[in-house]
């Protein structure tokens, strides 16, 4: 699998941290659910924020090393 690059904003980092604290291993799924709700409501900004949080949760939850590690 090739990981695509993404930037982490303070908002997405805060959302990911909060979701992981509240939902544990289910945090990624909950973020995806909230992204879908935002999309269905036409809230593009909310959708993008939740998707970024979901991607960050997936990266943080993964045991695999991606990219260069310093």
pLDDT single digits (tens) 11-70:
889 989 999 999 999 999 999 999 999 999 999 999 999 999 999 999 888 776 666 655
Q: For residue 67, which phi and psi values (nearest 5 degrees)?
A: 70, -165
pTM for this entry: 0.78
CB 7 within 8 A of CB 53: no
pLDDT at residue 1, rounded to an integer: 44
């Amino acid at each position: 699998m090739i990981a695509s690059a993404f930037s982490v904003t303070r908002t997405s980092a805060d959302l990911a941290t909060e979701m992981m604290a509240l939902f544990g291993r289910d945090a990624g799924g909950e973020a995806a659910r909230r992204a879908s709700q935002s999309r269905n409501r036409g809230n593009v900004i909310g959708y993008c924020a939740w998707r970024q949080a979901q991607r960050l949760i997936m990266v943080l939850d993964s045991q695999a090393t991606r990219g260069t590690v310093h």
